[in-house]
Chain A
Amino acid sequence: MTVTVDTTPPLPAEPGPIPEPFPAARKGFGIGEKAWAWIGVAPFFIFALMFLLIPTVYLVIGAFQDADGNFTLQNLGDLFTPNILAAYWISIKVSVASALLGALIGFFLAYAVVMGGLPAWLRPTLMTFSGVASNFAGLPLAFAFLATLGRTGLVTVLLREVFGFNLYSTGFNLLSFWGLTLTYLYFQIPLMVLIVTPALDGLKKEWREASEILGASTRQYWRMVALPILFPSVLGATLLLFANSFGAIATAYALTGSSLNIVTILLYAQIRGDVLHNQNLGYALALGMILITGLSNGTYIWLRARAERWMR
């Protein structure tokens, strides 16, 4: 899985009408080759429109309508209540923390295995495990952390019985910002490892040697050569990690019920039971989420364009 969350070229969203003049239709096909091609890709675009793009656009439009369908900015204004703002804030905090920590730790783990001179068998082991762990999210992950660090979890009990250390007396709580971040790291770190390992492989040995023989120290090599080259992929990975935890819901829901007020859980409750007592406020809530992911994506595209002038 390479993640190069990519740019958005303004191309026509629909296949559109088949381009007019068909150069002599080939034997055996009946209709022109391009026509086959457009017919071949049509289902994909229809699907993308119906089940990805239109539903999203529908929510965006709904955010600007009142119950009767008239245009209003009231819904957006209503987002600015302490409760809703707090939900966004916690979500952003957890996502930023788990993305940055996940990126940092994942990077060093990948670095250790690719360049740290560890035995060769560790690498496939780490990669396979990362494949598993990055997909081990949602409810089972929450169960695992409850069983480990919950009030009767293995680690909590061992610390108390063997070392006489009461984890929960330190203010630690799995159902908190740090608890959730620690749990999310379980899939964030492996995801980073999966993305950044190929990027580290892409660093040519000659670059390091060339910089070394030109007099550069290891530090100068990393600052002037390796990190700038890695920057776009690390940036893309970090963004993906952010989006990954920002949209997550199952883990948090199972860990905390609805005691931790993050925006996905608030939206979930709103969809199920209209807890905000305003249908269109739900749309606005969704719009806010779309804006945040959109914004982070936009920032990424902008930063990457700046960092990538040297690429084709």
Chain B
Amino acid sequence: MAFLQISDVRKQFAQNVVVKGFDLGIEQGEFISLLGPSGCGKTTVLRMVAGFEDPTAGRIIIDGKDVTPLRPNQRNVGMVFQAYALFPNMTVADNVAFGLKVAKRPDAEIKARVAEMLEMIKLPHLADRYPYQCSGGQQQRVALARALAHKPKVLLLDEPLSALDAKIRVSLREEIRALQRELGITTIFVTHDQEEALSMSDRIVVMNEGRVDQVGSPFEIYNNPATKFVASFVGTLSILKGKVLDPSARRIQIGQHEIVAGRGAINARPGEECTIALRPEAAKLANGQALNGHNKVGGTIEDVHFLGSVVRIKVRVQDNAIALDTFNDPSAVPPERGAPVTVSFTPADVLVLEGA
């Protein structure tokens, strides 16, 4: 059995079923992200692991012990909240010491552990400050130290970065991941930000409307989305409408062009409509030298977004729009709007989402 086993957990508030069956085993030391839009049930799952919500059905087992009937203060887990829930009446050091104090640990041990934790988050100089004297990023690091000070078995992170500035968010997520690896602590991270989930996790659980849509490594989730929802929620996608020409040869018509779709089941019969998906980084401007065996479609440039290191170009192909990313090339000016272009991509990059 996994270190943290969540077995067929359901949660219902009055008539509203928020979590419709959640089943997951998490190995010791694993970093798992629960990813999904707001209201998908990810936070409820986390709060059930913490013990703030009682599951309507199912069991939660941590390190071989069934914690389902236990109160949060008996579970030995640590948690970091979205809006830095530091105790405003305590200094940074007292906040970090809180879990040890309520456990009535000896003073010397508390002192040593607090110093160690503050060293770990690189804020020993803030020990005597009050939370209001710290920046958001500092507060969240203190919250992390507080959650880890009493050596919990599981660390729960409830969108801990969403209240922070963009730059701090990136640096803190790297810091959290490094710490988590160093301590080897089993971690569940709830987020609605796919970039955070992709960059930090060992495995991602994509949730939608109370259900698990897909569990997999960031690589799998991004490149092989199991459902249309996962495909559209994780990363940017061009969704194209086409017509199936030959299911067995996997030939599909997009506007005037015929392409081959490499992945995804095609259940539709010839002549029926289908939806395919294409990542922007998979599509390229062909410049007349597209390789053999690549799909080619012609269109006109509708929009050019200069994003810095990347230039995102939107190409109109009759009813469809294809987004494509190219790296910024200082020696080449991006194409003009309205210019005719050919877009090429390999069959393997084309994913059929639904063939019927």
Contacts and interface: CB of A to CB of B under 8 A. Distances in A.
Task: Let me know if chains A and B touch directly in the complex, using CB atoms closer than 8 Å.
Answer: yes
Contacts of B327: none
A312 B73 contact: no
A210 B85 contact: yes
B85 A212 contact: no
B79 A216 contact: no
Contact of A217 (B52, B102, B146): B102
Contacts of A225: 87, 89
Contact of B51 (A213, A214, A311): A213
Contacts of B77: 213
A131 to B, nearest CB: 29
Contacts of A216: 73, 98-99, 102
Given A214-B150, A215-B103, A309-B130, A209 B79 contact: yes
B85 A215 contact: no
B150 A210 contact: no
**Which has the most chain B C-beta neighbours within 10 Å: A209, A220, A312?**
A209
Nearest to B129: A310
A139 interface: no
Contact of B89 (A206, A213, A228, A312): A228
Nearest to B51: A213
A211 interface: yes
A206 B99 contact: no
Interface in B48-75: 50-52, 71-75
A206 B132 contact: no
Contacts of A224: 87, 98, 101-102
B164 interface: no
A215 B50 CA distance: 11
A211 B71 contact: no
B218 interface: no
Given A209-B52, A224-B98, A215 B150 contact: yes
A215 to B, nearest CB: 5
B81 A310 contact: no
Interface in A186-216: 204, 206-207, 209-216
B307 to A, nearest CB: 36
A109 interface: no
Contacts of B75: 213
B87 A213 contact: no
Contacts, number: 81
A69 to B, nearest CB: 52
A239 interface: no
A206 to B, nearest CB: 3
A309 B76 CA distance: 31
Contacts of A211: 87, 98, 102
Nearest to B83: A206
B190 to A, nearest CB: 14
Contacts of B101: 224
A210 B73 contact: no
Contact of B132 (A204, A228, A312): A312
A285 interface: no
A220 B72 CA distance: 14
A101 B99 CA distance: 34
A249 B146 CA distance: 53
**Which has the most chain B C-beta neighbours within 10 Å: A216, A217, A310?**
A310
A310 B73 contact: no
A207 B102 contact: no
Contacts of A228: 89
Contacts of A209: 50, 52, 72, 79, 81, 85
Given A211-B98, A212-B71, A310-B132, A229 B85 contact: no
Given A229-B89, A310-B89, A210 B79 contact: yes
A309 B129 CA distance: 10
A213 B146 contact: no
Contact of A215 (B76, B130, B131): B76
Given A206-B85, A212-B72, A214-B99, A310 B78 contact: no
B215 to A, nearest CB: 25
Contacts of A212: 51-52, 71-73
A214 B132 contact: no
Nearest to A308: B89
A204 B87 CA distance: 10
B88 interface: yes
B146 A214 contact: yes
Nearest to B80: A210
Nearest to A214: B99
Nearest to B74: A215
Contacts of B72: 209, 212-213
Nearest to B78: A213
A206 B47 CA distance: 12
Interface string A36-79: 00000000000000000000000000000000000000000000
Contacts of A213: 50-52, 72-73, 75, 77-79, 147
A311 B81 contact: no
B268 interface: no
B90 interface: yes
Contact of B90 (A206, A215, A217, A310): A310
B53 to A, nearest CB: 11
Interface of B: 50-52, 71-79, 81, 83, 85-91, 98-99, 101-103, 130-132, 143, 146-147, 150
6 contacts: A209-B79, A209-B85, A210-B146, A213-B75, A213-B77, A214-B147
10 smallest A-B Cβ distances: which pairs? A206-B85, A214-B99, A216-B102, A310-B130, A228-B89, A210-B85, A212-B72, A213-B72, A206-B81, A310-B89
Given A215-B150, A310-B132, 19 more contacts: A204-B83, A206-B83, A207-B87, A209-B52, A210-B79, A210-B146, A212-B72, A213-B73, A213-B78, A214-B78, A214-B98, A214-B146, A215-B102, A215-B103, A225-B87, A228-B89, A229-B87, A229-B88, A310-B90
Interface of A: 204, 206-207, 209-217, 220, 224-225, 228-229, 309-312
